[in-house]
Amino acid sequence: MKAHTHSRAPFEELADRVSALRSQMSFAEAAAKALEEIRPWQNFSMEELVSEIAASGTIAKQQDLDSTFGNPAVTLAHRGDFHVQLLSWRDGTTSIHEHAFEGAFCVLSGASVHTTYRFESDTAPLAAVMGGSLRFVNTELLEPGEVRSISRGAELIHSVFHLARPSISLVVRTSFDDTSRPQYEYVDGLAVDSFRRDALELRKLQLLDLSLDCYPNQQEKVVDGILASSSAWLAYRVLELSALRLGSFASLRHHLPALKAKHGEVAESFERAVLSRLRLANIVNRRCIVADEEHRFLLALLMLLPDRSSVLELVRERHPDLDAPELVVRWLRELAAKDCEARWGPNPLGFEIDDAAEEFLLCILLGDSIETAASKASQSPSRQAELALVVPRLSLLRPLFV
């Protein structure tokens, strides 16, 4: 390996190595192999890189200056049909998505929870919005030195929840996207074309956003007007945007019968998808007011994992010497004790946790049924009933009761 004379040198060397390897294997394989050989995470310092670029008079050709994927996304080496890009993540979390490019990525500093899925469509293939089932495949904790390949399309459906602030990742990717098919983002029940660029539809969504923000009395009229002649894609986006702005789906539910009649089977999944987006958005927003990496780790698990056993498995992987159920309850207790702005509720969790609730949750994590856990947590029949009825319905804690 060459001696690096400045902090951008490893990334130029990385690009050179990809160029040398790609004739022998697929681009994704070449990108992953080059990352594993060059090991750019070794001795990496974001502070040094920032200082060097700040004082420099040159920078590599920048790919997609307006990109919001990374904050910021900085191209460190460019070779025409592929480039090496550094992504800085502060409070952003990627949606569940696929890619129209191929390559490989790794964590340079910090840590990220990486979750993969598969999608089983039950409506027309490659439509702008498809109904189906989003299935959890795997979750893993990625730390510096771990490399993952990126395949085009549905071969890699994933999301990444970043723990440190910032977390820094590096991607080696082809520079030109495959535009022969939609590029989807996924929610529970739907695959939605995330790069659809119909001018009229986009302007309608922007004007709806304006109305929701500045003219709330006009919201129903604008929603009705758009839905009357909308595509299935636009109908879902209208419901999603409105629910996220309003913080609830309740006032939109009456639109569903007409949308189901108009758009058929795909509209059957609209409510489930919007409710899923509301839950995810709530957790992502709360993550922004949580600085501790362990607490952010817990929020990532509650957001991404399907059940209690998966949560405990990843806690044990990160802290093999500690008792996982007790650690989860401790993190919840610590979050419940933190102050925050009134709009978030009593604490970053959004709900109080007293001694009985702590004991109830610990018993649940240890495998007790809801009724048994409630009886162990309190001697009061009314408090037992409250625990058994209220706590399992808290959206944030949903995976703990599966």
Write out pLDDT tens, residues 13-30.
Answer: 999 999 999 999 999 999
**pLDDT at residue 86, rounded to an integer:** 96
Write out pLDDT tens, residues 235-250.
Answer: 999 999 999 999 999 9
Write out pLDDT tens, residues 319-376.
Answer: 999 999 999 999 999 999 998 888 888 999 999 999 999 999 999 999 999 999 999 9
Q: Quick one: residue 247, left, alpha or beta (phi over 0 = left, psi -120 to 50 = alpha)?
A: left
**pLDDT at residue 6, rounded to an integer:** 53
**pLDDT at residue 69, rounded to an integer:** 72
Residue 302, pLDDT > 70, answer yes
Residue 4, pLDDT > 50, answer no
Q: Which one, of 102, 75, 98, 70, lies nearest residue 167 by Cα?
A: 70
Distances (CA, A) of 173 to 99, 115, 122, 348, 357: 10, 20, 31, 37, 47
**pLDDT at residue 181, rounded to an integer:** 84
Residue 170, pLDDT > 90, answer yes
Which spans in 56-181 are helix H? none
pTM here?
0.87
The encoded tokens of residue 290 equal: 């949580």
Taking residues 303-322, what's their average pLDDT?
95
Q: What is the dihedral of CA 393, 397, 399, 402, to 10 degrees?
A: -40
The encoded tokens of residue 114 equal: 């990486």
**pLDDT at residue 90, rounded to an integer:** 82
- Which of 12-26, 90-104, 257-271 comes out lowest in average pLDDT? 90-104
**pLDDT at residue 75, rounded to an integer:** 96
Label residue 286 exposed, middle or buried (CB < 10 Å: 0-12, 13-18, 19+): buried
CB atoms within 10 A of CB 246: 15
**pLDDT at residue 329, rounded to an integer:** 98
Taking residues 371-393, what's their average pLDDT?
96
Q: Quick one: residue 238, left, alpha or beta (phi over 0 = left, psi -120 to 50 = alpha)?
A: alpha
* Contact (CB, 8 A) for 40 and 11: yes
Residue 2, pLDDT > 50, answer no
- Cα–Cα distance measured from residue 321 to residue 315, given in angstroms and rounded to the nearest whole number: 10
Structural domains of the chain in order of their starting residue, each with its CATH number: 9-193 (2.60.120.10), 199-279 (no CATH), 305-401 (no CATH)
Beta-carbon contacts of 296 under 8 Å, excluding residues fewer than 6 positions away, are 161, 163, 165, 287, 290
- Provide the percentage of residues in the chain whose pLDDT is more than 70: 98
- Mean pLDDT, the chain, rounded, equals 93
- Cα–Cα distance measured from residue 278 to residue 148, given in angstroms and rounded to the nearest whole number: 29
Residue 96, pLDDT > 80, answer yes
Residue 287, pLDDT > 60, answer yes
Taking residues 382-396, what's their average pLDDT?
95
For the chain, the maximum distance between any two Cα atoms, rounded to a whole number of angstroms, is 72
Residue 222, pLDDT > 90, answer yes
pLDDT band at 3 (very low <50, low <70, confident <90, very high): very low
Determine the 3-state secondary structure of 231 from DSSP. coil
* Greater pLDDT, 129 or 69: 129
Residue 91, pLDDT > 80, answer no
